[in-house]
Amino acid sequence: MTAHPAIVDPAARRRSRALGVFLVLIGLMIYVFFVRSSTAGQLATFGMNPGRQTSALRIADVTLPVLTSLYIMSLLSVALGVAQLAWGFRRAEDVVLGLVALLLVLAFLTWAARDQSLNLVGILEAAVQRATPIALAALSGVLCERSGVVNIAIEGMMLTAALVSAVVGSVSGSLVIALVVAVLASGLLGALLAVLSIRYRVNQIISGTAINILATGATSFVSARFLAVYQHLNSPSKFPNWPVPLLSRIPIIGPAFFESNVIVYLLFVLLIVVHIMLYYTPWGLRTRAVGEHPRAADTLGINVYRVRYINVILGGMVAGLGGVFLVLGSVPRFDELMTAGKGFIGLAALIFGKWNPFGAFGASLIFGFTDTFQAKLQILRAPIPSQFLRMAPYLITMIVLAGVVGRAEPPAADGEPYEKQ
């Protein structure tokens, strides 16, 4: 018998080659931008302990020779790219890409901290805090888009929840009541989006944009007309940080992840719960079926409308939790337009994470890191404009959409209204 060669998808082969070229380019970029601007004898010191009182075990700081470290990172990235071009890593491509991305981040930090000291734990702590509302926005998008509804209104839902949490928290004096009422308010906006998009089949982009405009105008009016005059309506308290026993003692990750407030912990719980429900329960199977092929799901007895209503309302509530974090988990007051586009950034993280809860969280951390870096660079006086760092997540998103790191395809019926026949 004659052995037949394995059939290789031409598109997959092109993506594999593009990934290899991309990895090589990252290695060359490390050399051109970082190695060539460093000199022998420079040292970079990384603080491995938080700059505050904490229960985490203390470890020694790390000092690296800048030039040698950058050479190693550059060569390793190029070597992995060449290996990808020659043989391909097949199912390990995402792992290799993550490793090279980590090398790029480490190279950047090493270069930025040459002859200086940089607290890595402080950067990680700030990144987690900045990533939390973005991750909640992305998780809201996962719930909605997995059922076939595009939620452009996340920004308005977050803004509304932020205002409600500030007012209710100030009036009632209870953070729990403020959180619950704010989440319910954003759930009502989710219900409005569901009615417009599912029952009346309004274009989902237009209906979401209309809700954003409504929320922006209403919250700005209330802030200028009432909160600016009656300051006692905009002075809620803030959720305290609660260290998790044992876990908070872990060096580096303990202070960043397990010495936070209750909303950050709710994010972690939601990530696990939504992942399990999406991939290991009948509800998740129905949700994914409705998002991929609603007519086939309907013929199998699944109520497409009900599944979409439930998911969009739940998505609105999760987005509201992100708005609550901005007030009750970060700055205990409401300011006009304080979401600053985090709802839209969450949608970008959703795409980068390939509509997966943990993937979206990882992408949100990247956005949080870049937001933190641009602030740290001003302290280190690194010769890079902060605007370039703010561009980085969007450039990465475009690379993902271009197919360099694999397909980033939404559910097949995403954004398409369904009409029962």
Query: What is the rounded CA–CA span in Å between residue 285 and residue 309?
Result: 16
Nearest alpha carbon to residue 302 among 148, 195, 157: 148
Give the model's pLDDT for residue 5.
45
Q: Which residue did the predictor score with more confidence, 310 or 122?
A: 310
Q: Give the list of residues 6+ apart from residue 351 with CB closer than 8 angstroms, or none.
A: 397, 400, 401, 408, 410
pTM exceeds 0.85, yes or no: yes
Give the DSSP H/E element, type plus range, for residue 237.
Answer: none
Domains and CATH numbers, the chain: 10-115 (no CATH), 122-402 (1.10.3470)
Q: What is the mean pLDDT of residues 312-318?
A: 97
Task: Look up residue 168 and give its amino acid.
Answer: V
Query: What is the rounded CA–CA span in Å between residue 405 and residue 18?
Result: 8
Contact 74, 27 (CB under 8 A): yes
| pLDDT band with cut points at 50, 70 and 90 for residue 224 | very high
Strands 62-65 and 43-47: antiparallel
Mutual orientation of helices 282-292 and 262-280 as an angle, nearest 10°? Answer: 80
Q: Give the list of residues 6+ apart from residue 387 with CB closer than 8 angstroms, or none.
A: 374
Give the model's pLDDT for residue 382.
63
Exposed / middle / buried, residue 268 (Cβ in 10 Å: 0-12, 13-18, 19+): middle
Residue 205: how many CB atoms within 10 A of its CB? Answer: 13
pLDDT at 152 over 60: yes
47 DSSP β-pair partners: 119
pLDDT tens per residue across span 327-366: 999 989 999 999 988 999 899 889 888 899 998 998 899 8
pLDDT tens per residue across span 397-419: 666 556 555 556 789 999 899 98
Torsion of CA 203, 206, 212, 218, to 10 degrees: -100
Torsion of CA 260, 264, 266, 271, to 10 degrees: -130
> If DSSP codes are grouped into helix, strand and coil, which group holds residue 261?
coil
End-to-end Cα distance, the chain:
52
